[in-house]
Each structure stands twice: as structure tokens, then as C-alpha cells.
Amino acid sequence: MTEQVTAESVRRGRGVERLINGQFVMDGAGVKINRVLTQGLQRRLDPFLMLDAFGSDKPGDYIAGFPEHPHRGFETVSYMIKGSMRHRDSAGNEGLITDGGVQWMTAGRGVAHSEMPEQTDGLMEGFQLWLNLPAKDKMTAPWYRDIPSEAIPRFSTASGATVQVIAGASHGVAGAVQRDHTEPLYLDIELAANATFEQLLPPGHNAFIYVFRGQVLVDESCVAQSRMAILANNPDADGVRIVAAQPSRLILIAGRPLNEPIAQYGPFVMNTQDELRQAVEDFRAGTFSA
Ligand code: CO
């Protein structure tokens, strides 16, 4: 069901601080990915550690998938726009994430999982976001939830926006997942040509958008398809105003920074080098997710 809401109004919108192109990388067993949020942006976009966008109708770009690999110290949020991927992990969870579905996994003290395509042709398109955990929760028990498309709260506005609320809340609609500390907001926003969408954002929260259809304007800056725009943290801005130059679709992600040290070694993200050494040791010793 799609709720109708009245538009929120932003008094002063944030501008675009920087446009990011992303880097094509191969990950997993050979999956072609556009890495949009790279390690160099982790401090600026705290609490977010990584955003990968993938989208291809060539099976060779995705068929190898992501065979078993570990994670510790953060959360992974996979959003499948189109396609099917099967997840299995060492905590005993298994699920199929498919068209429009989200999988939210808290690696906490440790999970080894595999993410393998369950299709041999056709389009596979989606995102994987890494959300950091506060130091006090890095060694928490693993947690996992599959959220099928129909379970994601959505609403539309009279100004031509249709919005899915994956995390946080927008226009009074609570999203599928809520988190203390990082207070993530994760919206999928579809806009008709010339439609406007306004979202209130706390000034201290770091925020960005990624446009995956069409092109939009943010405070008169153009953000083209396959571009990420980091939104400026102007202290006097209370949100963001997005105008579609043509039919468009984008994700808007924001969160409260943790302001804690970030130490990363591949799939482990902790606060110190010692904790990273411990993670590698635990994984090698096989005591990782016990
Ligand atoms: Co993974």
C-alpha cells in the first residue's frame, strides 16, 4: 500500500559539496562493481564506510558472485533493485534477496557469508552499503533480516515523488529498520519529470545521494546519472531539495557521525590496529563467529 502524505517543506536546502564518479573495481570472485563511496571518503561520510553500485545485464559481470568471506565490526545493507541473490551465513541464516528486496546484516563480532546470484541471465542491479557500528557494539551478536519489497514502507507526495523508506523516517513514515547512534536514513526516491522532493535533515548528519536513473538538480547543481553528490553540512540548512530534470530515481542516505577512529583491513572494520590483528587471528583460528 502506498500512503499519501503532504510534502515536508525545507526552509533552506543543502548544496552539493562534491560530485563523485566512482571507480570500477572487481570484487568477490570477479563481479564488476562501481565503488562510489571509497575508503578515502569514510571520514567525510562517517558513519558510512562503503557504497557499491552494480548494474549489468551481462552475466559475465556478476555470475561469479561472492563466495564465502568474513565481516566484523559493522553492518551491510544490500538493496536489490532487480535480480536474485542467495545469502548463507555462519550464524545459520539463509535467504533469497530478490527484486526490490533489502537484506540487513549486522556482522558484529563476526559472520562468514556467501552472496551468490540465483540467475544465469537478465539484469542484476542494486547497491551494497556498509554502515559502521559504534565501538561499544562492534562485538555484538550477529543479526540478520530479509525485507521483501512489499514490506518496505512507501509513500507518495502530491508533488510527484514516490518514496520507499528502507531506514529512518520520512514525512512521518517509519522505515523498515531503525538504528540508535548512527540514525541512518535510507530512501529510494522516484521522481516524475519536474517533480520536487524535500527532506528534512539534521545539520550535523552526513548525507549523500546517488542518481541511478535520469538526472536531478540539488540547489541548482546538476547531478547526472551514475553520480554521487556529497551534500554540504551548511549549519543553517535544514534539509535538501531535489528537483528532477527528467524522470529520475535516486537513493538518499544520511546518518549521524560516530566520530570514532576507523581502522579497516579488507572486510574487518574496527577502531584500532590491535583489534584488526585480533579479527584476523580469530578468523584464522576458526573461532570467529563462535
Ligand atoms: Co559480504
Query: Which CATH number characterizes residue 87's domain?
Result: 2.60.120.10
Residue 132 lies in a domain: yes
CA of 223 to the centre of ligand 1 (A): 29
CA of 116 to the centre of ligand 1 (A): 10
Res 287: pLDDT: 78
Structural domain that includes position 7 = 2-284
CA of 147 to the centre of ligand 1 (A): 17
Residue 219 lies in a domain: yes
CA of 66 to the centre of ligand 1 (A): 7
Cell matching residue 235: 549549519
Cell matching residue 45: 561520510
Residue 162 lies in a domain: yes
Res 1: pLDDT: 57
pLDDT value at 24 more than 70: yes
pLDDT band for position 9 (cuts 50, 70, 90): confident
CA of 69 to the centre of ligand 1 (A): 6
Burial of 145-182, coded b for 16+ CB within 10 Å and e otherwise, reads ebbeeeebbbbebeebbbbbbbbbebbebebbbebeeb
Strand partners, 177: 167
Cα-to-chain-centroid distance, residue 11: 27
pLDDT value at 281 more than 90: yes
CA of 10 to the centre of ligand 1 (A): 37
pLDDT (tens digit, 9 = 90+) per residue, 200-242? 999 999 999 999 999 999 999 999 999 999 999 999 999 999 9
Res 6: pLDDT: 72
pLDDT-above-70 percentage for the chain? 99
Residue 63 lies in a domain: yes
Residue 13 lies in a domain: yes
pLDDT band for position 91 (cuts 50, 70, 90): confident
Residue 290 lies in a domain: no
Query: Between 188 and 159, whose confidence is greater?
Result: 188
**Closest C-alpha among 263, 261, 211, 231 to residue 34:** 211
Q: Domains in the chain: how many in total?
A: 1
Distance CA 21, CA 35 (A): 9
Residue 289 lies in a domain: no
Distant-in-sequence, close-in-space partners of 189: CB < 8 Å, separation ≥ 6: 161, 162, 163, 197, 242, 249, 250, 251, 252
**Residue 278 and residue 287 in contact, taking contact as beta carbons nearer than 8 Å:** no
pLDDT value at 290 more than 70: no
DSSP 3-state of 135: helix
- Judge if pTM exceeds 0.85: yes
Res 289: pLDDT: 59
Res 29: pLDDT: 87
pLDDT value at 2 more than 80: no
CA of 5 to the centre of ligand 1 (A): 36
Mean pLDDT of 82-96: 93
Residue 41 lies in a domain: yes
β-strand pairing of 48-56 with 31-37 = antiparallel
pLDDT-above-90 percentage for the chain? 87
